[in-house]
Amino acid sequence: MKQADALLRIVFLDRATLSPETRWRPPGFPHVLEVHDHTRPDEVAAGIAEADIVITNKVRINAESLATASRLRMIAVAATGYDVIDTAACKARGIVVSNIRGYAGITVPEHVFALVLALRRSLFAYRDAVARGRWQESGQFCFFDFPICDLAGSTLGIVGRGALGQATARIGAALGMQVQFAGRKGEASAEDGRVPFKTFLASSDVISLHCPLTAETRNLLGAAEFELMERRPILINVGRGGLVDEYALTQALNKNQIAAAGFDVTAPEPPPADSPLMQLLDRPNFILTPHIAWASREAIQALADQVIDLIEAFHSGAPRNRVV
């Protein structure tokens, strides 16, 4: 789309899902920008009705909303995941959909190891114990109420061999860990240096999930899989909430099938108050963060810059990162 003299309307549906300190440079062509902090599902159709380009992070755009958006020609998803978009409806209407790629290669792996190190060394458990006066109560220079283990020499198991999985592997190797990647669930053998899934579960000291949520990976880890975790690993999920059966996770922690868990994602988000994960928050071996593994200041700025790059590329007639 190249309309150098046209005044295009760009609508941002959920600006508040990105940090307020993020700088958004204006696209380098004539335009009108309409920004909404939030858009409810019942407001989407009206919100995009007069838009030429829409930016969305987590606001869903379905076929019904698209039906009256006669001017819409491009949707820029301010995230890598684009499951919030009805891609079939966009394809039928000739709407380009582009997503963000490669912006979180540092922030997500760093968050993984923030969780791993905190859990492996019981940092929050000791912090809380000190706050309760346990150090004074012990009567000596230190106390040993919670386990402390090194990472060096342990085995890091990674599900997902994409950019984030590979980056996590590099940090693990730098810390002296043995790294292995999981083969496909349900297959007895594995290729490309991966480890068969059951063997992977039985031999990992830390398991980190970096795969997309699909029909194949939904509830990838459930009661049967926790039974196979012979080494009582730490489980880290910075991927998608639906990758782990949350009720089974609760039982795995209760039965000491795993040593600890660190989650940055839930299903749904935010989790309701009665969510299984919310019931674990008083445990010293469980950490829940609010889907912010991706959200370093540097990563969000890179995302914002890439959104504008995608819009400008589309306007110039050479759209990039197309999923439709």
For residue 236, report the phi and psi dihedrals to the nearest 5 degrees. Answer: -120, 130
Q: Does some domain include residue 3?
A: no
- pLDDT value at 252 more than 90: yes
197 domain residue, yes or no: yes
Are residue 249 and residue 213 in the same domain, yes or no? yes
Domain shared by 99 and 120, yes or no: no
DSSP state of 316: T
What confidence tens digit (pLDDT) does each residue in 131-187 have? 999 999 999 999 999 999 999 999 999 999 999 999 999 999 999 999 999 999 999
Asked whether residue 323 is assigned to any structural domain, the reply reads no
Predicted confidence band of residue 6 (pLDDT cuts 50, 70, 90): low
191/308 same-domain check = no
3-state secondary structure (DSSP) of residue 186: coil
Verify cis geometry, omega within 30 degrees of 0, for the bond prior to 26.
no
Is residue 151 in some structural domain? yes
Where does the pLDDT of residue 5 fall: very low under 50, low under 70, confident under 90, or very high at 90 and above? very low
| 214 and 135 in a common domain | yes
* Shared domain check, 147 and 23: no
Residue 257, token pair as written in the block: 């099938």
| Helix ranges, the chain (H) | 44-48, 63-66, 87-93, 107-120, 123-131, 134-138, 163-174, 197-203, 223-227, 246-254, 297-315
- Whether pLDDT at 2 is above 60: no
Measured distance CA(145)–CA(132) in Å, rounded: 13
Domain span including residue 140: 107-288
Q: Is residue 2 part of a domain?
A: no
Is 138 a member of any domain?
Answer: yes
Is 113 found in the same domain as 204?
yes
Question: What is the pLDDT averaged over residues 284-293?
Answer: 97
Condensed to tens digits (0 to 9), the pLDDT of residues 86-122 reads 999 999 999 999 999 999 999 999 999 999 999 999 9
Looking at the structure, tell me whether residues 207 and 138 fall in a common domain. Answer: yes
Whether pTM exceeds 0.75: yes
Same domain, 91 and 64: yes
Same domain membership, residue 190 and residue 115: yes
Distance CA(276)–CA(249), nearest Å, equals: 8
- How many independent structural domains does the chain possess? 2
Query: The domain spanning residue 71 has which CATH number?
Result: 3.40.50.720
CB 9 within 8 A of CB 71: yes
Assigned domain for 182 exists: yes
**Domain match, 237 and 305 both:** no
Is 223 within a domain? yes
Catalytic center residues: 240, 269, 291
Whether 81 and 171 share a structural domain: no
- Judgement on whether residues 156 and 260 belong to the same structural domain of the protein: yes
